[in-house]
């Protein structure tokens, strides 16, 4: 019974239901990497994959929520593919949330 999937259900400020099936812990492999070295899925090639480049899963993209301890403006709309990270000198130090 330990393979039961329970999605995380939250509500936004307009009381709309948002269901997230991704956890920030899934992207812990990004910690300590330069944000400029991470490649989007659409820009990835087989050659980059063979060279060991980090390519994000399909549709996902990075957003710097906190850059050098300064809070950045975040869009209000919910996007289940937005990975919000905190960076210092372009190095990812924390995965804040997904969406």
Q: Positive or negative CA dihedral for 62, 22, 97, 90?
A: negative
Count of Cβ atoms closer than 10 Å to residue 20 Cβ: 15
> pLDDT band at 7, cuts 50/70/90?
low
Domain ranges of the chain: 22-98
Q: What value does the mean pLDDT take over residues 90-95?
A: 93
Tokens coding 13 = 């400020």
> How far from 89 is each of 10, 18, 71, CA to CA, in Å?
32, 32, 14
**Would you state the pLDDT for residue 16?**
77
Distance CA 34, CA 28 (A): 13
35-59 per-position pLDDT tens digit: 999 999 898 888 988 898 888 988 8
């Amino acid at each position: 019974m330990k393979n039961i999937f329970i999605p995380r259900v939250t509500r936004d400020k307009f009381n709309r239901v948002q269901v997230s099936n991704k956890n920030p812990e899934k992207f812990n492999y990004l910690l300590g990497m330069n944000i400029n070295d991470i490649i989007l899925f659409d820009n990835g090639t087989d050659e980059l994959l063979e060279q060991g480049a980090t390519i994000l899963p399909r549709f996902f993209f990075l957003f710097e929520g906190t850059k050098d301890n300064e809070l950045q403006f975040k869009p209000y709309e919910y996007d289940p593919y937005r990975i919000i990270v905190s960076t210092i000198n372009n190095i990812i130090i924390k995965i804040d949330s997904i969406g």
